[in-house]
Amino acid sequence: MKSLCTSQSVGYGVQKWTSGSGRMGFMDSTERDRVETPISAEMTEPEHQPAESPVEQADPVAQADPAEQLVGKAVVVERGVLERLVGGTYHDPHQVLGPHLGEGAVTLRVLRPFASSVTAVYDGERVGLEHEFDGIWIGVLEVDKVPDYRLEVTYTDGPAVEVDDPYRYLPSLGEMDLHLIGEGRHEQLWTVLGAHVRRYDGPTGTVTGTSFAVWAPNAQGIRLTADFNFWDGRAHPMRTMGSSGVWELFVPGVGPGTRYKFDICGRDGVWRQKADPMANLAETPPANASVVHESKYEWNDAAWLEQRAAAQAYREPMSVYEVHLGSWRKGRTYRELADELVAYVTDLGFTHVELMPVMEHPFGGSWGYQVTSYFAPTSRFGDPDDFRHLVDRLHQAGIGVLVDWVPAHFPKDAWALARFDGTPLYEHPDPRRGEQPDWGTLVFDFGRPQVRNFLVANAIYWAEEFHIDGLRVDAVASMLYLDYSRNEGEWVPNQYGGRENLEAVSFLQEMNATLYKRVPGVITVAEESTSWPGVTRATHLGGLGFGFKWNMGWMNDSLRYLEHEPIHRQYHHHEMTFSMMYAYSENFVLPLSHDEVVHGKGSLLRKMPGDRWQQLANLRAYLATMWAHPGKQLLFMGGEFGQESEWSEKGELDWWLLDHADHQGLLQLVKDLNHTYRETKALWGADHIPERFSWIDANDAGNNVFSFIRYGEEGEPTLACVVNFSALPHHGYRVGLPFGGFWQEVINTDATLYGGSGVGNFGGFHANGLGWHGLTSSAEISVPPLGAVWLRHDGQSSSEH
């Protein structure tokens, strides 16, 4: 339930603390000198004058005037300041609360709304505090410097408890941090905002606590509400940090496992409880509080990171297995997946896994694409260190890890990013640019420096904190075009009258350039469904700077071709060849992703025409064609063994299908495709070199046959792929080849081992000197029905091509 803030205005004047390096520690007498003069409401410089609203009254403690005997030595605070402090809208509670050095004494104010008594305990002394105003207690310590005191607090329904005072500590952010946040240039933003367990040495030993910091520049006041204060934040108001828009509070005695939120009085005068945008752990949905976490993980993947840094991804093999962790096998934790998933992927020979979004999201049916906690791995499967363990184990097995990342939009949940401080803070204020009609979500304001900083730092966070090897960026097209999924009159052109979102373009360039600069060997992959030029071109050459782009054109054309009955495919032959017209315009990944097996589209297997045998044969031939095509490969889980039903996040894969020999055969084929692919450099080392690809025959539509060559480098094997998408075998089919000698049949998708009919070439053949298809040699081969063969020639240099 929303409540209204107090009606008093709030000052946002420049603070006068001396924070030095931003260390945590006690405020000593020097650092408290600024409050020797009386504090008045006029000492602030208000930036915002919100409309007046009814005052929300706290549960009152019996009202009392300050003890008259304290007036002579106490640091005086005006009544209006105290009212705003109790109401939660005073910009710097530390200016009033905590210890303040006066004339030969220290004035101590404490905000404990429900206490029946408060006593300061220090150096063997006990000083009782008097109730001053509406839950504020005051006392004078007869000392000439601030002691290392504690508070003994008694409540009417329980014994006294001894606690430390949050308002005697220095800020946890330094001046450089605040400057970088203000500029939108703090590349390690997660290290200063959010919740962080901190330790430092005090006069009586080590003090452990948690600092909380949040960016909310338009808030009138923020209180920390948590399980340790029974979700009532009136005793824990936070302070602003100058003009940075950051609010901060260090709470001693609070540690890992603490659940918390920020209670924010927005510019509109409404209190809202918000989860921490920078939290690195959140409660398991449907609960939505943020959770304090401190990583203790020790990595064991140094060899992997060193190897990754030295590699060039576009020159390396990349065969990606896309996984939704919650439905691969139901009920598994990150640590259980570290055993089962790693063993499975290793056996199949994939080089990478791509995880559908693991950032915390409230609605499982969004598959993770509506993120509410961008810095928190979902707690459905464990804590952040458990997720680190999964990544570490994959790396130790030689498997790279890509993660889906969603900077395009975020959901409207009232407790998350939407209208975070009572204003459109993270989202664009104009709904024609700030809302995504397709998904009912909000669009980030890519032109706001601090919002860009939030997203850029988040990309770096996943790479540096979790050793992620790459980000697959979701829905890039929706970011690039202002009229994406909008009708006439529903969008606003850019400053030049065009439809391009120039701010989003600039953001993507900044994100890619920064990530590639900071993290050696990392990659980014764009899910971009249009013909936007230069997606994988370097930013200094005017491109967006991605490492790879999903080839949606190849995916759509090839699936459309395969859905036709074989007898009709000759009329759609070009749908399988057109992709080579642009295959080298970008660094492509060929995706058969989760998007193609949901929403009534059917599984990959069920897209294929014919009876069960023909469907499996079609799928085997299709996968072999895909693995031989220029570009990297991505296959969604279940496709490797012929999942029959559409994918649903509510269940798990139909593992029982592997009790059938034909599905086991498909699984074995994928394993053999991966292993043969990895050992044949011609299939991955020249994806960026057009001269290393050549059609043998791209035009045999009548036979539904496609044939092409992938040339190796000097002295390396060359591979020919011949595919027959008709239901009839072609015996004595003459195919041109660039070299004479022996060609080994390294893959035949019709082999009985894979569930096929066994039509093939007995492991290989010798090509003769008869020229064919414009090539110097040829051979008559058998091409199986609905089948593909890979033919590899060893020892012939590519220079003879």
CB atoms within 10 A of CB 616: 24
First to last CA, the chain: 74
Distances in Å between the Cα of 780 and the Cα atoms of 189, 733, 772 are: 64, 5, 11
β 352-355/319-323 pair status = parallel
Q: Are 197 and 210 in contact (CB under 8 A)?
A: yes
Which residue out of 527, 640, 652, 700 is catalytically annotated?
A: 527
Interatomic CA distance for residues 247 and 420, integer angstroms: 13
Burial class (CB in 10 A: 0-12, 13-18, 19+), 224: buried
Q: At what angle do helices 449-465 and 175-183 cross, to 10 degrees?
A: 110
Q: Are 241 and 275 in contact (CB under 8 A)?
A: no
Interatomic CA distance for residues 715 and 547, integer angstroms: 28
Spell out the SS3 assignment of 550-576. Answer: ECHHHHHHHHHHHCCCHHHHHHHCHHH
DSSP 29-70: TTTTGGGSSPB-GGGS-EEE-PPP-PPPPP-PPPP-PPPGGG
Question: Which helix (H) or strand (E) is 183 found in, with range?
Answer: helix 175-183
CA nearest 202: which of 21, 27, 22, 26? 26
Strands (E), 243-303: 246-252, 259-265, 270-274, 290-291
Q: Are 67 and 19 in contact (CB under 8 A)?
A: no
CA nearest 801: which of 776, 778, 780? 776
Interatomic CA distance for residues 78 and 354, integer angstroms: 59
- DSSP label at residue 72: T
474 is catalytic: yes
294 is catalytic: no
DSSP 669-701: HHHHHHHHHHH-GGGTTTTT-GGGEEEEEEEEG
Which residue out of 263, 474, 586, 745 is catalytically annotated?
A: 474
CA nearest 132: which of 184, 76, 171, 73? 76
Burial class (CB in 10 A: 0-12, 13-18, 19+), 286: exposed
Q: Are 669 and 624 in contact (CB under 8 A)?
A: yes
Q: Are 525 and 508 in contact (CB under 8 A)?
A: no
Strand, coil or helix: 4 = strand
Q: Are 100 and 107 in contact (CB under 8 A)?
A: yes
Interatomic CA distance for residues 473 and 475, integer angstroms: 7
Q: Which residues are catalytic?
A: 474, 527
